[in-house]
Amino acid sequence: MENDTIIHNPRIMENSKNLSILYLIGDRGLDLTKGEGYKIHVLKIIEGLVKKGHRLFLLTINENALLPEFEKYRYLTVKHKYLRLFFHRIFPFTGMINSINILLHILRFYRLHRFDIIHERWGLYSFGGILASRILRIPHLTEINGPGIEEKKLFTKDIAPIQKFTAKMIRKFCLRNTDHVVAVSNNLKSFLLDNHLINRRDKITVLPNAADVTAFNKQFDAQSIKDSLGCEDKFIIAYTGTLQVWYAIEDLILAFPQILKEISNACLLIVGTGQTRKTLEDLAYNLRVSDRVRFMGYVQHEKIPEVLSIADVVVAPYKGVGIPFFNSPIKIFEYLSAGKAIVATKIGQITEVLQDQHTALLVTPSSIEELANAIIRLAHDEQLRSYLAKNAKIEAQKYSWDRYVDHLVDIYRALIV
């Protein structure tokens, strides 16, 4: 793996002045009231920065003015506005209108609370943060977690040609004019460079996602948790995360009849909710494994360590979708922190973070047989499960949110000086 992680600069770290940071989300699609992975990412960055004594303000486009999980932090939500009457159909990318609205809010906000840097989580049509940084003459950092435009066609619906052209122009403008880019994976970094969206390699730092290592190291009464779920004597296989189309959770369910033939007391816990839940429930019913597949629905993130504490094997299945895998799955780092035997798809950053036969068993995308055999192997080999779990705990120390935030602050300071 190419070592893109920023190194602590002693000269920068000597400057212990606490910073004032505006964290901006100008994309209405990133709704912080939903239980999606991006919300955890945002929350952990904000939580980490505040814990280290920095002053932070959150500005976000949101349908709901109240963000219960962010109550302890200073935040302002800007209401998304559609153009009136039929103009919305003629000019559908109202994110551009939101960007102007965001720009005005930032300028007003700056007069009240001077901040040193704007940290923006990139979103389609969002250019208000870049314009504000230039007007105010303060640094702008872009955090990018995926190319967005190219993923729309695969995972939701393709953007209309005029919208796509506009979105690409805005993306190029923003990435060329930001002062630094934090990309979530090396695949994403390569995409940005290969498509000439960024013209300097040293302008990008790769920071993979992370986990709250301390939270996952707590001791739980596993037996009482098992009892409460009716899994007293079961071999528990667990998946945590949203139920979206890019996950191969259906492969896990399709593999389950084969798993049950070899592990008669197996129980599959699927933790999370999303657009594919009904399809997955129907699949489990049609395969006659509904009684052994438990759909737990949405579970508050702070409860995930407790749920994982009872798992014997944890699974991160992904589809091969014909484009590079840009993601940095938070679940991978949480599985490591929980010290569990992991089965994961051999794809993208997963192969950089997890080492086959050392911290996980890696399987080929879409291979239901490989997936089933890996889980069966771990069920029959307690020594291998323990070996993978021990190594996972050690590897997890590299990927704590605490370390992530330290790297981020180093970047901030380098841009501000």
Can you give the residue ranges of every domain in the chain? 10-210+400-416, 213-398
Q: Which CATH superfamily is domain 10-210+400-416 in?
A: Glycogen Phosphorylase B; (3.40.50.2000)
pLDDT at 81: 65
Is residue 4 scored above 60 in pLDDT? no
For the chain, helix (H) and strand (E) counts, in that order, are 18, 13
Is residue 130 scored above 70 in pLDDT? yes
pLDDT tens figures, 245-285: 889 999 999 999 999 999 999 999 999 988 889 999 999 99
At residue 348 the predicted structure's pLDDT band, cuts being 50, 70 and 90, is very high
CB 184 within 8 A of CB 327: yes
Distance (Å, rounded) from C-alpha 36 to C-alpha 241?
Answer: 8
pLDDT (mean) for 89-94: 57
Contacts 24+ apart (CB under 8 A), 373-379: 374/343, 375/237, 375/255, 375/259, 375/263, 375/313, 375/315, 375/343, 376/258, 376/259, 376/262, 376/263, 378/312, 378/313, 378/341, 378/343, 379/235, 379/259, 379/262, 379/263, 379/266, 379/312, 379/313
Please give the structure tokens belonging to residue 342.
């992991």
Is residue 23 scored above 80 in pLDDT? yes
Distance (Å, rounded) from C-alpha 238 to C-alpha 249?
Answer: 11
At residue 30 the predicted structure's pLDDT band, cuts being 50, 70 and 90, is confident
Closest CA to 101 of 117, 122, 78: 78
pLDDT (mean) for 333-350: 96
pLDDT at 85: 56
pLDDT at 6: 34
For the 213-398 domain, the top CATH level (class) is alpha beta
pLDDT at 138: 97
At residue 88 the predicted structure's pLDDT band, cuts being 50, 70 and 90, is low
pLDDT at 29: 74
- Structure-token match 């239901």, residue found: 368
At residue 240 the predicted structure's pLDDT band, cuts being 50, 70 and 90, is very high
pLDDT, averaged across the chain: 88
CA terminus-to-terminus distance, the chain: 30
Between 163 and 340, whose confidence is greater?
340
pLDDT at 96: 76
Q: Indicate the range of 99-103, 173-177, 357-361 predicted with least confidence.
A: 99-103
Domains 10-210+400-416 and 213-398 share a fold: yes
The two most distant CA atoms of the chain are separated, in Å, by 66
pLDDT (mean) for 165-170: 89
Query: How distant is the alpha carbon of residue 415 from its chain centre?
Result: 25
pLDDT (mean) for 138-162: 82
pLDDT at 94: 66
pLDDT at 64: 75
Is residue 7 scored above 70 in pLDDT? no
- Ordered DSSP codes for 46-72: HHHHHHTT-EEEEEEEESSS--GGGTT
Residue 406: phi, psi to the nearest 5?
-60, -45
